[in-house]
Each structure stands twice: as C-alpha cells, then as structure tokens.
C-alpha cells in the first residue's frame, strides 16, 4: 500500500483525491498549507505528494524544490488551476513526476498514481547501490551532491548513455570515471576524448582511425579510439564542441555500434557505452541549430546535472580537508590546520571556477603559508578575501556610511596604507556584525554561533577582541 499526501488549499479537491486514492487501496491524507505539508513530508513516509501551485502561504513550485532536496524524497505530482508551459517546464526541471491541470478527472489521476507507485515499489526493492558506490574523488555529503550520487548509482546499473552537465570545473570528468568504475564495464577501458581540445580534422581520425594511404602521411593503419573503447566506455568531454558533420556520424555510430575508419570500405563494430559531458546549454544549441536534435535526444536519456560549488557550501570544509591531506602527501609535508576565518572566507566566495578553482586556491594558500602550521584567511588570494569582505559588508549595509566616515581620511591627512585601511574597515564591520548578533540573540552564544556559522571559541575570541559584552545586549 502506498502513502499519498495531498497539499491543496481547496477542501473539495483534497477529499475528491483522497477518495479516488483510497478506492484503489492506498492511504491518503491532506493539508491546506505548504508549511504543514513540508512538515508532514519531513516526518512521514510518503511515496507521492500531490502539490498545488497557488497556495495561500506561497508557491508550490518553490516547495517542490525543497521536497526534492530532502533525502529519499517522495515523487511529486503538481496540480494547478492555471497551467503554463513555463510552469510545467520548471516543475519537471525541479524533479516533478507529472504536471496535471485542474479540473482533475479520475483517468488523469489514477494512471500516474498507478505508475508512480509501481516505480516506488521497484525503487524500494532495488539494491541500495549508493552505499556500495565507489566514490573515488567525489567528496561531500550535501543534499545536492547526494542527489547526483544517487543518479550516478542508478546510471551505473544500466547501459544507457549518460550526459553530465554543469559549469566548468564541477567535476564532470570525475563523475564520468566514477560511473565507468561502478558499471559492469569497469573491467574494460574508459577512453576519453576531449572534443574542445582537438581540431575538427583530428577528431574524426582520433575517433575512427584510418586505413593506410587514406590521406597524405597515412603510412600505416591506425585504430580509432571508438574501437579501443569496445566492451568499455567512451567519454566524450565537451560534446557541445563537436563539429556538426561529426555529430551526424556519431549519431549513426550510437544507433548501429558500427563505423568506418577514414579511407576504409569495411565497417568496424564496437560495443561501447557513451558517457558525454558539456558545460554548454545543448537545448539552446539545438534551438540555434548548432547541435543536432536527434543526437541531443540520444544523449538525453540520462542527464546528471552537477551543482556548482557555491550551491553546496556545506561540502567546502570536507573538500578543503581532503585536498589539504592530498597536498601534504604530494609535497611530503605535514598537513596544516585552519582558522575559522579561513573556512568562513572559503564559504563566502562564489567559486566561478568551481572545484578546479577551489583546489588551486587551497594549494596556493598551502604554499603561501610556508612553514606556518595554521592557515588563515590572509593566506588566500586577494580576490577571494575581497569577495568575502564584500559579502559581510552587504549583511550590515546600514552601517556602511558610518564605517566609511570612520575610516575615510580627511583631506588634510595623508592616505593610510591599504592594509591599515582594509583592517580598519574589517574591524568596524566585524564589530558592527557582532553587536547586531548579540542584540538579535540576546547574548545566547549557541544561537549566535549557529547564525554566524562560527565555533564557540571563535565567537568568544571575537567578542573579547571588540570588547563586547553578552549581557549588555
């Protein structure tokens, strides 16, 4: 028996749905507010949630995102009185199972309910592959990463093509390697071809190989990398950069698992699994006529969207410690500790280059610290620190003009050094923040630590530094 939750502000819709669901021997309950619904999803064990879009306390599509970020979330079917294409697209992008427009007919409801519960049943029976997933360099426990790992684990159990999307540096190649290593093809090769690095004329030769005499300089036969991937996986990195003519050829290879080396009249067979990756918006490229729609659909059977680092802040500490250990090993040095401000600064930066930029930043700071055993924010690159400062200033905007007045030199004084100027500004911002923090929390240290996301020792030290008393606030 499946458990269904209905979140809708109309009592009639709720009771009608409940009756329909109970008639097919499943349990259903309802609530009329998003807040109640979220609490029920968190505490209950629901397989399906019917979620209305226009609710008195908010938009159901925003709640959908929150539900899908939970661990082992239920499937969500969106129901709406005013259906729009963009709303439907957003719902599906955020993980909705279906998008149904009111008025609800039994046929429209019962079929998706049957399918979704069948899916949940199979999902429950399926081995919990995530626990045995070989994670390699996939570090972190954030809900965003966990969701990708769950998708990876499922993809590793089948043979369909997989497309990894995500910004530059989000770890698409690492995911591709993990997918291959966890698949039944792991005993064979993973062959990587980076389509962004190779000139168009070399990609065809690299992928398909050539016969002797196929062109000037082809004095012997060569094997293409597609053949080399026979029995294993072929990883085409930055597939969005593939030339349109090659896209056509690749599509045929994917359909028939056969291809002709350059200059050959004989077809070569290769049984490979395609793993592709791109940082480009392939859908937009299809629309603009830059990427073949048929190839896009071939690739689109399993898409894993990798989150940017700024959306998985909770992974920063564990990632930092991981790379720190690796650096110590690489350079044969003692691993270094870190101060809370170092971590806070890493968390405040938005990491446009994602994990790749993060790794370089950690390595740079590791070297900048020299023989010092503790890393401080000052060991990080200036652009990273400046952004962290800007962020902290944004949080105490009302005080900015006051601070500027305090640290701005008058026309009669000489300009201070940048360091003094910056330190003075930082001190003022820090003090102002702490005063507000103590006022908001009425001096409750536990609450203050939680809001500021800093440790107790760090908070006490800062209060002492700025001579701020807990009780006076």
Partner 1 sequence: MILYFKKNSKHGPKLQATVAEVYAREMTATCHTLKDALFSTARPMSFCDIIVLLVEDQLELANLSEYGSQLIENNLILILPNKETDNLAAGCAYRPKYMADMNGDFKDVQNVIKKMTDL
| Footprint of partner 1 (CB under 8 A) | 189, 191-192, 194, 197-199, 201-202, 206, 209, 217, 219-220, 222-223, 225, 227-228, 330-331, 363-364, 367
Residue closer to partner 1 (CB basis): 266 or 472: 266
**Bond from prior residue into 103 cis (ω within 30 degrees of 0):** yes
Location of structure tokens 């698409």: 172
Neighbours of 154 (CB within 10 A): 15
* Shortest Å, Cβ 228 to partner 1: 6
Question: Min. distance of Cβ 379 from partner 1 in angstroms?
Answer: 14
Distance separating alpha carbons of residues 291 and 244, to the nearest angstrom:
7
What is the rounded CA–CA span in Å between residue 230 and residue 271? 5
Contact (Cβ atoms closer than 8 angstroms) between residue 207 and residue 163: no
Nearer to partner 1 by Cβ, of 116 and 236: the residue is 236
- Least distance to partner 1 from the beta carbon of 308, Å? 22
Q: Where are the beta strands (DSSP E) in 81-232?
A: 98-101, 162-165, 190-194, 209-210, 222-223
Nearer to partner 1, 218 or 286 (CB): 218
3-state secondary structure 165-194: ECCCCCCHHHHHHHHHHHCCCCCCCEEEEE
Shortest distance in whole angstroms from residue 62 CB to partner 1: 41
Q: Indicate if the alpha-carbon torsion angle 101, 106, 107, 111 is positive or negative.
A: positive
H/E stretch holding 375: strand 374-375
Residue 72 is given by DSSP the state: S
Pairing verdict, β 209-210 and 222-223? antiparallel
Q: Tell me the closest approach of the beta carbon of residue 200 to partner 1, in angstroms.
A: 9
For the bound state, the minimum distance from the C-beta of residue 381 to partner 1, rounded and expressed in Å, comes to 12
| 31 versus 198: smaller Cβ distance to partner 1 | 198
Task: Output the CA–CA distances (angstroms, integers) from residue 236 to 158, 241, 242, 292, 304, in the order listed.
Answer: 19, 10, 9, 16, 15
247/290 Cα distance (integer angstroms) = 10
Q: What is the DSSP letter of 234?
A: E
Task: Rank residues 54 and 201 by Cβ distance to partner 1 and give the closer one.
Answer: 201
Percentages (nearest 5) of helix, strand, coil residues in the chain = 50, 15, 35
* Least gap, CB of 231 to partner 1 (angstroms): 12
Q: How far is the CB of 331 from partner 1 (least distance, A)?
A: 7
User: Can you list the alpha helix ranges (DSSP code H) found in 222-313?
Assistant: 225-228, 244-256, 282-287, 293-299
Tell me the closest approach of the beta carbon of residue 220 to partner 1, in angstroms. 7
What is the spatial distance between Cα 431 and Cα 165, in angstroms, rounded to a whole number? 42
Q: How far is the CB of 291 from partner 1 (least distance, A)?
A: 20
């Amino acid at each position: 028996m499946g458990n269904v939750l209905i979140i809708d502000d109309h009592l009639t819709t709720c009771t009608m749905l409940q009756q329909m669901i109970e008639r097919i021997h499943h349990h259903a309950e309802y609530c009329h507010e998003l807040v109640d619904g979220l609490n029920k999803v968190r505490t209950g064990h629901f397989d399906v949630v019917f979620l209305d879009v226009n609710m008195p306390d908010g938009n159901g599509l925003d709640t959908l995102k929150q539900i899908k970020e939970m661990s082992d979330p239920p499937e969500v079917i969106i129901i709406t009185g005013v259906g729009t294409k963009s709303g439907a697209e957003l719902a599906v992008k955020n993980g909705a199972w279906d998008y149904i427009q009111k008025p609800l007919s039994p046929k429209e409801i019962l079929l998706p309910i049957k399918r979704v519960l069948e899916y949940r049943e199979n999902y429950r029976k399926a081995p919990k592959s995530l626990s045995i997933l070989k994670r390699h360099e996939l570090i972190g426990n954030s809900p965003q990463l966990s969701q990708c790992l769950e998708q990876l684990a499922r993809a590793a159990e089948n043979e369909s093509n997989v497309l990894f999307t995500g910004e530059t540096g989000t770890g698409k190649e690492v995911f591709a390697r993990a997918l291959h290593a966890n698949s039944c093809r792991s005993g064979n090769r993973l062959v990587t071809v980076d389509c962004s690095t190779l000139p168009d004329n070399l990609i065809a030769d690299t992928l398909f190989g050539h016969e002797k005499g196929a062109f000037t300089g082809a004095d012997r036969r060569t094997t293409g990398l597609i053949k080399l991937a026979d029995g294993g996986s072929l990883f085409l990195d930055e597939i969005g950069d593939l030339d349109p003519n090659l896209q056509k050829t690749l599509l045929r290879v994917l359909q028939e698992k056969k291809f002709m080396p350059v200059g050959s009249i004989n077809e070569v067979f290769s049984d490979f699994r395609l793993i592709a990756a791109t940082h480009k918006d392939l859908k937009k490229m299809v629309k603009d006529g830059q990427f073949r729609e048929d190839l896009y659909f071939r690739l689109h059977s399993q898409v894993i969207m990798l989150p940017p680092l700024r959306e998985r802040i909770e992974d920063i500490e564990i990632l930092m410690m991981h790379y720190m250990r690796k650096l110590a090993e690489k350079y044969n040095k003692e691993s270094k500790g870190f101060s809370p401000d170092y971590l806070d600064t890493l968390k405040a930066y938005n990491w446009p280059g994602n994990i790749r930029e993060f790794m370089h930043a950690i390595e740079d700071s590791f070297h900048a610290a020299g023989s010092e055993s503790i890393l401080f924010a000052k060991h990080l690159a200036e652009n990273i620190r400046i952004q962290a400062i800007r962020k902290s200033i944004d949080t105490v905007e009302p005080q900015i003009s006051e601070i500027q007045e305090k640290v701005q030199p008058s026309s009669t004084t000489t300009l201070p050094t940048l360091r003094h100027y910056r330190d003075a500004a930082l001190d003022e911002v820090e003090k102002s923040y702490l005063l507000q923090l103590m006022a908001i929390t009425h001096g409750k240290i536990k609450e203050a630590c939680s809001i500021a996301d800093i440790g107790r020792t760090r908070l006490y030290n800062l209060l002492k530094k700025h001579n701020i008393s807990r009780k006076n606030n």
